[in-house]
Structure 1
Amino acid sequence: MRIKITATTDRPASFPFNYQYPLQAAIYSLIRESSSDYSTFLHEQGYIKDGIDRVFKFFTFSKLKFSPKLRGKTGFVNVRQIEFIFSTIVEESLRHMILGIFSDREMHLRINGKGLKLTIVNVDVLEELVFSGKEKFICLSPIAVSTMIENHKGRRVPHFLNYMVPRERDRFAENIKNNLVNKYETLHNASYDNREHPFSFHFDPIYISKKNGTISKLISFKNDIKIKAMEAPFTVEADPDLIKIGYECGWGEKNSAGFGCTEPIRA
């Protein structure tokens, strides 16, 4: 389930290149307008399942589409309109998001230490999609996948995998699958019984060639956290139930921070 949100400013506005955290905060605020309890639950707890050491929020959102799209040295300037996708597999999340939007049709972002008010002028409910066992997608936001490693102090820390490093490529695809299975089991509170279903995930080599192998993005998030993620069209072969979860909840990790939002390529 997903909606496309369009909002305008009453004056030209500036956005930094790394705006994911302010946008995430604005989304939680919209949900809070409908239900403070549910917004707090999503933000502070999320969905969990015994035996899975992950917490899922089960929503993601795309990068912003700016109008006009003018780049300055530190971000986008003279912005008058933004557009983005909000996607979730949880009906309650979508309901509270929509009710929050229509409570006063305003979004409030904290940009560069200053408040920015936007007026929501349109909300489109997008068509529900049915997936086959093989699909092609484009990224509406980059995909982050990590694994735990020991640093020089002997502490286990997350390492974001780089698909373009050959020794990390198989692990990248494997972790994508494991993440989808964990989401499935947490969402349904049941074991996933189709683990033998073939699974493959690969980014488009022609696109990679056109980009000279540069498909990684380094995003600065809250408290200067650095998140490395990949952004390129990809093909996935998998159980359609897992593909649906990837599409609606996000692929990989950090989905509720604006990572892993995609759109299928349909003829």
Structure 2
Amino acid sequence: MRFRLTLRPQTSRQKLTLNYNYPFSSRVYAHIHESDADYSAFLHQHGYQLQNSAKTFKHFTFSKFDIPHKARPIEKGEDFILLSDQPIYITVSFFIDKAAEDFIVGFFKNQRISIYNKKYQADFVIESVESLAIPLADATTKRYRATSPMVIAEKRADGNDDYLPPTDPKFARYFAINLLDKYESVYGKGIQMDNTSLEKLINFKLVDTDKMRSKLIAIKQGRDDETRIRGYENFVFELNAPPQIVEVGFYGGFGKFTSSAGMGFCDIL
């Protein structure tokens, strides 16, 4: 399910860090913990674990901030957004049951949220929470735009990731592997096939790269284990796959680092 949040800055001319992805995700989990400690512990300690694997998924992502009115444009070299006193917006997306809708609305609405790192802090009140109805089951094949960076990676022999652009011939394969892992973390491991068959079951087709750009995101900023990840956004792709598999990726995010950095958030075209 998806929810559009309206955030009202508590004062004008606050500085919101440009690298707000990880701080925002951290504050969301803090609010979940305040509302439901058992659910929070499940997400942090276990998540949805893939059978016979150490991989876990939290099935959560979010859009970039929609900031219609800045106090002024971002100037060269600045690493913050100077906010006005006007509302800003963000859409959060969870792969959860319809029955959890009231719970999500309840722990967000009228809450105060602070988004900060070591240099900047911006404080907001969540004025409204709007549940978004998005049809997915009416067609197997749909087109999507990656409106936040999507991170697809190939693991190297040294254990590090090679971040792949959507134009890479291996991108579709690793996209499909990641999405199937997410599906099986929810419904159980039951689909055995080679990579060729998997790419037919979960068929990714790149459609438009005219506005595509890469973006480097830091997560766990300022810590010894700070990580920089690279994703690609503003490309259009076609996905043909069983609706139940697509739903897991659409609501929980496609690719890696969805819950920790809001990666893989896509809109249906």
Pairwise TM-score range, normalised by the shorter structure: 0.7 to 0.9
Give the structure 1 partner of residue 267 of structure 2: 263
- Alignment deviations for residues 5-64 of structure 1 (CA, whole Å, 9 cap, x no partner): 111112122222211111001111221221123213212321113223411001111111
Give the structure 1 partner of residue 216 of structure 2: 218
Q: 1:163 to 1:240 in 2, by over 3 A?
A: same
Give the structure 1 partner of residue 176 of structure 2: 177
Task: Work out the CA distance in 2 between the residues paired with 1:125 and 1:193.
Answer: 36
Q: 1:221 to 1:185 in 2, by over 3 A?
A: same
Partner-residue secondary structure (3-state), 1:177: helix
Work out whether residues 216 and 231 of structure 2, in 8 Å CA contact, stay in contact via their aligned partners in 1.
yes
Give the structure 2 partner of residue 140 of structure 1: 147
Task: Work out the CA distance in 2 between the residues paired with 1:40 and 1:186.
Answer: 17
Task: Work out the CA distance in 2 between the residues paired with 1:6 and 1:75.
Answer: 20
Partner-residue secondary structure (3-state), 2:174: helix
Q: CA deviation at 1:198?
A: 4.1
Q: How does 1:31-180 map to 2 (within 5 A)?
A: 31-69=32-70, 70-72=73-75, 73-80=78-85, 81-91=87-97, 96-102=103-109, 104-131=110-137, 132-150=139-157, 155-164=158-167, 169-180=168-179
Work out whether residues 52 and 182 of structure 1, in 8 Å CA contact, stay in contact via their aligned partners in 2.
no
Segments of 5+ residues of structure 1 without an aligned counterpart are none
Q: CA deviation at 1:199?
A: 3.5
Work out the number of aligned pairs and report it: 251
Task: Work out the CA distance in 1 between the residues paired with 2:36 and 2:83.
Answer: 33
Q: CA deviation at 1:217?
A: 1.2
Work out whether residues 49 and 55 of structure 2, in 8 Å CA contact, stay in contact via their aligned partners in 1.
yes
Q: CA deviation at 1:2?
A: 1.0
Work out whether residues 133 and 237 of structure 1, in 8 Å CA contact, stay in contact via their aligned partners in 2.
yes
Give the structure 2 partner of residue 188 of structure 1: 187
Task: Work out the CA distance in 2 between the residues paired with 1:160 and 1:170.
Answer: 13
Q: TM-score, normalised by structure 1?
A: 0.84
Structure with the largest fraction of strand = 1
Moved more, 2-11 or 44-53: 44-53
Q: TM-score, normalised by structure 2?
A: 0.84
Work out whether residues 50 and 189 of structure 2, in 8 Å CA contact, stay in contact via their aligned partners in 1.
no
Partner-residue secondary structure (3-state), 2:170: helix
Q: CA deviation at 1:250?
A: 0.6
Work out whether residues 17 and 121 of structure 2, in 8 Å CA contact, stay in contact via their aligned partners in 1.
no
Work out whether residues 34 and 97 of structure 1, in 8 Å CA contact, stay in contact via their aligned partners in 2.
no
Q: Which amino acid aligns with 2:47?
A: G
- Alignment deviations for residues 74-100 of structure 1 (CA, whole Å, 9 cap, x no partner): 232124322111111123875543232
Q: 1:94 to 1:31 in 2, by over 3 A?
A: farther
Q: Which amino acid aligns with 2:11?
A: R
